[in-house]
Amino acid sequence: MDNNFDVIVIGGGPGGYVCAIRAAQLGLKTACVESRGTLGGTCLNVGCIPSKSLLNMSESYHKAHKEFQSQGIEFSDLKLNLDKMMSSKNKSVQTLTKGIEFLFKKNKVTYLKGKGVLFSENDVVVYEGEKKTSYKSKNIVLATGSAPSSLPGIEIDEQNIVSSTGALEFKEVPKNFAVIGGGVIGLEMGSVWSRLGSNVTVLEYLDHITPGMDKEVSSEFLKILTKQGIKFKLSSKVTAVTNKGNQVEVSFENNQTSQKEVLLVDKVLVAVGRKPYTEGLNLNKLGIKKDPQGRIEVNEKLQSSIKNIYAIGDIIKGPMLAHKAEEEGIAVAEIIAGQAGHVNYNTIPGVIYTSPEVAVIGKTEEELKKENINYKVGKFPFLANSRAKVNNEPDGFVKILAESKTDRVLGVHMIGPHTGDLIAEMGLAMEFGASAEDIARTCHAHPTYTEAVKEAALAIDKRAIHF
Ligand code: FAD
Ligand code: NAD
């Protein structure tokens, strides 16, 4: 095999594999190095895909348990077969990761199995066991992703004290389950195990969950999850997590009142954020600059401090999201090919796949206030949406923020059924620079959840019809 490439991508996650496919589509001779043994990165192997599979199946179980009887769907002997549920999740992961291998073949991307290490600005060495192979490339794209963070003194053993990876693999439903961190992972995984029967307690350092989110959505979210049975200990500082035989003792204190408490649980999930993963790449030797958070510094063309070495995804600034990594992967491939690759960071949606879902895009009300931007608010509750009503999903609302003078949509914040899908329309609207009036004048099919979006746009000028 000829070991010279136009582009070598290190890391086969959503950033890396998408970049490699796009580069190959553009006629560049491309290779992608991945050390995990399967493609798809964190997202497909231990992140987005297995967590969404468990969220979906646990919701079906929960509905069968709690809602079906009242809808006249009667049965006896409903049982959870966790082994089967896990196999189904693993099968989905396998199908999707194999699918990327197929896409690589179809697009003529060379898949290099092993750990990629930089030796110069054009040299990559791939280590696979004892085997060491050298490659040359005109351009290198770093896409090595992220790893779970922990807290001082807490050792994640993936048995009883777990990261998200361990929480996707429990062999039985923990009777008592503590989650440290009321962010995205904590609330998604907390929801999964709560629906399957765990007594879940979330310990969050701040006085609110999901930091950075529009405050109104965040407090509604807290109310809904509490109603579902998840317990929250806010303003809680965890001071120790200790294995006690088959159980774990979690000590924490209220950071406002200093009141101390102890929880004895079967499993603890540490979900306090993730950190960029650049270990073993040799960045220091090459002089590639990192910021104080350990992220590779890049310019607007996603070039690192060495011009032909680019970085994308979780190892650079911005939200740690698969679709953000993908957009950057495409942009870098196009930039390398001489095109005008570009990422619009103002229109990257964020979705939390709980029930109901939370979906956000653009500025929050808090950000607009801080930036002294005058804005109008249009809000519509799902309680008044006919589809949500007949489907017994009345919780949540759609909130649109539009610039006062121009009516241009600046942010949309939703909590409610299928909002993870509804947010796409808002992304498109914002990409086109739409006004709230544009959305209000767009015909939305009846009866659909999308009508809540139209009504929120109408509510900007106090003319919502159904509320
Ligand atoms: P990664 O996906 O982390 O991929 C990097 C790859 O590089 C890895 O496979 C790693 O093995 C490989 N690698 C590292 N170093 C080397 C090396 N030296 N040589 C070769 N290979 C190397 N995001 C969403 O948008 N939606 C979700 O629903 C969602 N759910 C999530 C759920 C969980 C539980 C977790 C943990 C994350 C979730 N995320 C979600 C975040 C998402 O997974 C990441 O943002 C995304 O995977 C980042 O993509 P990436 O390509 O930058 O890195
Ligand atoms: P996060 O940043 O979403 O949440 C971490 C939470 O832990 C925060 O609420 C924070 O205040 C809290 N925290 C921090 N230190 C603490 C302490 N000492 N004690 C108690 N609480 C503490 O991080 P995460 O949930 O670990 O997720 C990591 C990344 O993965 C996120 O950036 C997210 O974007 C990505 N992810 C995305 C999805 C999705 O898109 N649906 C799903 C899972 C993960």
> What pLDDT sits at residue 193?
98
Instruction: Kindly report the number of other CB atoms within 10 A of residue 370's CB atom.
Output: 10
| Ligand 2 within 6 A of CB of 238 | yes
377 by Cβ neighbours in 10 Å (0-12 / 13-18 / 19+) ranks as middle
Ligand 1 atom at minimum distance from 15 CA = 51
| Ligand 1 within 6 A of CB of 162 | no
Q: Which residues contact 91 (CB under 8 A, 6 or more apart)?
A: none
Query: For residue range 168-205, what is the model confidence (pLDDT) as tens digits?
Result: 999 999 999 999 999 999 999 999 999 999 999 999 99
CA of 257 to the centre of ligand 2 (A): 24
CA of 274 to the centre of ligand 2 (A): 7
CATH architecture of 161-272: 3-Layer(bba) Sandwich (3.50)
Query: For atom 40 of ligand 1, which residue has the closest CA?
Result: 48
> What pLDDT sits at residue 438?
98
The rounded distance, in Å, linking the Cα atoms of 23 and 109 is 9
The rounded distance, in Å, linking the Cα atoms of 318 and 148 is 16
CA distances from 118 to 136, 142, 147, 297, 299 (A): 10, 10, 20, 17, 20
Residue 420 banded pLDDT, cuts 50, 70, 90: very high
Does 1 score more than 90 pLDDT? no
Q: What is the DSSP letter of 197?
A: T
Q: Which of 43, 113, 168, when mutated, tests ligand 1's pocket best, judged by the most ligand atoms within 8 Å of its CB?
A: 43
3-state secondary structure of 396: coil
Query: For residue range 387-398, what is the model confidence (pLDDT) as tens digits?
Result: 999 999 999 999
382 by Cβ neighbours in 10 Å (0-12 / 13-18 / 19+) ranks as buried
Query: For atom 32 of ligand 2, which residue has the closest CA?
Result: 320
> What pLDDT sits at residue 331?
98
CA of 276 to the centre of ligand 1 (A): 10
> What pLDDT sits at residue 211?
97
- Catalytic annotation on 446? yes
CA of 149 to the centre of ligand 2 (A): 9
Nearest ligand to the CA of 12 is: 1
Nearest Cα neighbor of 31 from 11, 51, 56 is 11
CA of 234 to the centre of ligand 1 (A): 29
Q: Radius of gyration of the chain from Cα atoms?
A: 24
CA of 231 to the centre of ligand 2 (A): 17
CA of 95 to the centre of ligand 1 (A): 17
Nearest ligand to the CA of 203 is: 2
Q: What is the value of pTM for the model shown?
A: 0.98
Residue 436 gets the label, from left (phi > 0), alpha (psi -120 to 50) or beta, of alpha
CA distances from 27 to 6, 12, 55, 142, 334 (A): 9, 19, 39, 20, 11
Q: What b/e readout covers 89-126, taking b as 16+ CB neighbours within 10 angstroms?
A: beebbeebbeebbebbeeeebbbbbbbbbbeebbebbb
Residue 90 banded pLDDT, cuts 50, 70, 90: very high
33 by Cβ neighbours in 10 Å (0-12 / 13-18 / 19+) ranks as buried
| Ligand 2 within 6 A of CB of 353 | yes
Query: For residue range 227-281, what is the model confidence (pLDDT) as tens digits?
Result: 999 999 999 999 999 999 999 999 999 999 999 999 999 999 999 999 999 999 9
Ligand 1 atom at minimum distance from 16 CA = 51
Query: For atom 23 of ligand 2, which residue has the closest CA?
Result: 273
> What pLDDT sits at residue 87?
98
User: Which residue is associated with the tokens 């796409």?
Assistant: 424
Query: For residue range 5-43, what is the model confidence (pLDDT) as tens digits?
Result: 999 999 999 999 999 999 999 999 999 999 999 999 999
Instruction: Kindly report the number of other CB atoms within 10 A of residue 316's CB atom.
Output: 24
> What pLDDT sits at residue 192?
98
**What is the average pLDDT score of the chain?**
97
Query: For atom 23 of ligand 1, which residue has the closest CA?
Result: 321
Query: For residue range 337-390, what is the model confidence (pLDDT) as tens digits?
Result: 999 999 999 999 999 999 999 999 999 999 999 999 999 999 999 999 999 999
Ligand 2 atom at minimum distance from 252 CA = 19
> What pLDDT sits at residue 425?
98
> What pLDDT sits at residue 64?
95
> What pLDDT sits at residue 99?
98
CA of 15 to the centre of ligand 1 (A): 8
Beta strands 4-10 and 131-142, pairing class: parallel
Domain ranges of the chain: 4-148+275-343, 161-272, 347-459
> What pLDDT sits at residue 145?
98
Q: List, in sequence order, every beta strand (DSSP E) within 40-81.
A: none
Amino acid at 279: E
Residue range 347-459, CATH number: 3.30.390.30
Ligand 1 atom at minimum distance from 12 CA = 6
| Ligand 2 within 6 A of CB of 351 | yes
| Ligand 2 within 6 A of CB of 188 | yes
| Ligand 2 within 6 A of CB of 190 | no
Residue 463 banded pLDDT, cuts 50, 70, 90: very high
Q: 4-148+275-343 and 161-272: same fold?
A: yes
Query: For residue range 396-414, what is the model confidence (pLDDT) as tens digits?
Result: 999 999 999 999 999 999 9
Q: List, in sequence order, every beta strand (DSSP E) within 303-396.
A: 309-311, 350-352, 357-362, 375-381
Residue 430 banded pLDDT, cuts 50, 70, 90: very high
Q: Which residues contact 291 (CB under 8 A, 6 or more apart)?
A: 297, 317
| Ligand 1 within 6 A of CB of 24 | no
| Ligand 2 within 6 A of CB of 185 | yes
CATH class name, domain 4-148+275-343: alpha beta
Nearest ligand to the CA of 279 is: 1
**Mean of the pLDDT values across residues 47-60?**
98
Nearest Cα neighbor of 51 from 80, 27, 85 is 85
Q: Which of 17, 141, 144, when mutated, tests ligand 1's pocket best, judged by the most ligand atoms within 8 Å of its CB?
A: 144
